[in-house]
Amino acid sequence: MDRRTFLGASAALAATLALAHPVTAAQDAAKARTKPLPPPDKTGGKPLMECLNSRRSTHMPGKKELTEQQLSNVLWAACGISSTSGKRTVPTARNRQRIAVYVALGDGVWLYKPAEHALELALAGDHRGDFDGSACVLLYAVPRKDPFGYAHVGSMYQNVGLYCASEGLANCVKYQRHDALAGKLPLPEDWEVVMLHCIAG
């Protein structure tokens, strides 16, 4: 068998296998778009009053990457599941939980999935430069017409700010360029990003 015949046969075999296992191919594609997080560390940390005393904003948090554990803890603090009944770490009006957190990292913008405590790829590429270039940028999103939306976002960034104070992470809540990915980020209909939270190690 010459080289041309061999390559043709190999391509045909690959196509046949792909057709024979479409579910596996779809599962592999889905897996590539998800990223599990380590379980949040719900123990330790500084006392609450010490965190309140040391909490500060850093105008330019910097580019030192967070560890996987720090990222896990940050996202859980923002709106993770904190009870067997499915309630979040932050209160929401009538427990409707109409809140979402996206995180811009070097390998894409990811949607945090609280139930799975995992990330789902929403937008490929490094978009941190669209904001302030910080190592980690949280994008807080809520429905446009939700009268409680800004209050929910405030609860989320307060939780994250307290965690950052406990962990010694630089962070700053920002309104500037909160809409930098408008039209690019696949938000639910009539939702918008209303605030950013820039964080670095």
Average pLDDT, the chain: 90
In this prediction, residue 11 carries a pLDDT of 53
Taking residues 158-167, report their average pLDDT: 98
Taking residues 90-99, report their average pLDDT: 96
Question: Is residue 167 over pLDDT 80?
Answer: yes
Q: Over the stretch 104-149, which tens digit does the pLDDT of each residue have?
A: 999 999 999 999 999 999 999 999 999 999 999 999 999 999 999 9
CB 158 within 8 A of CB 165: no
Question: Is residue 9 over pLDDT 60?
Answer: no
* Residues in contact with 77: Cβ distance below 8 Å, sequence separation at least 6, in sequence order: 40, 89, 159, 160, 162, 163
Question: Is residue 28 over pLDDT 60?
Answer: no
In this prediction, residue 61 carries a pLDDT of 97
In this prediction, residue 124 carries a pLDDT of 97
Selected residue with higher pLDDT from 22 and 63: 63
The percent of residues above 90 in pLDDT, for the chain, comes to 84
User: CA angle, corner 181, sides to 175 and 184, nearest 5?
Assistant: 155
Burial 25-38 (b: 16+ CB within 10 A, else e): eeeeeeeeeebebe
In this prediction, residue 16 carries a pLDDT of 45
Question: Is residue 6 over pLDDT 50?
Answer: no
Q: DSSP for the chain? A: --HHHHHHHHHHHHHHHHHH-HHHHHHHHHHHTEEE-PPP--S----HHHHHHH----SS--SPPPPHHHHHHHHHHHH-B-STT--BSS--GGG----EEEEEETTEEEEEETTTTEEEEEE-S--GGGTT--SEEEEEEEETT-TTHHHHHHHHHHHHHHHHHHHT-EEEEE-TTTTTTTTTS-PPTTEEEEEEEEEE-
In terms of Cα–Cα distance, which of 36, 81, 52 is closest to 163? Answer: 52
Task: Give the C-alpha separation, 34 to 131, whole Å.
Answer: 23
In this prediction, residue 200 carries a pLDDT of 98
Report residue 24's pLDDT band, with 50, 70 and 90 as the boundaries. low
Taking residues 14-28, report their average pLDDT: 51
Task: Give the C-alpha separation, 12 to 17, whole Å.
Answer: 9
Question: Is residue 166 over pLDDT 90?
Answer: yes
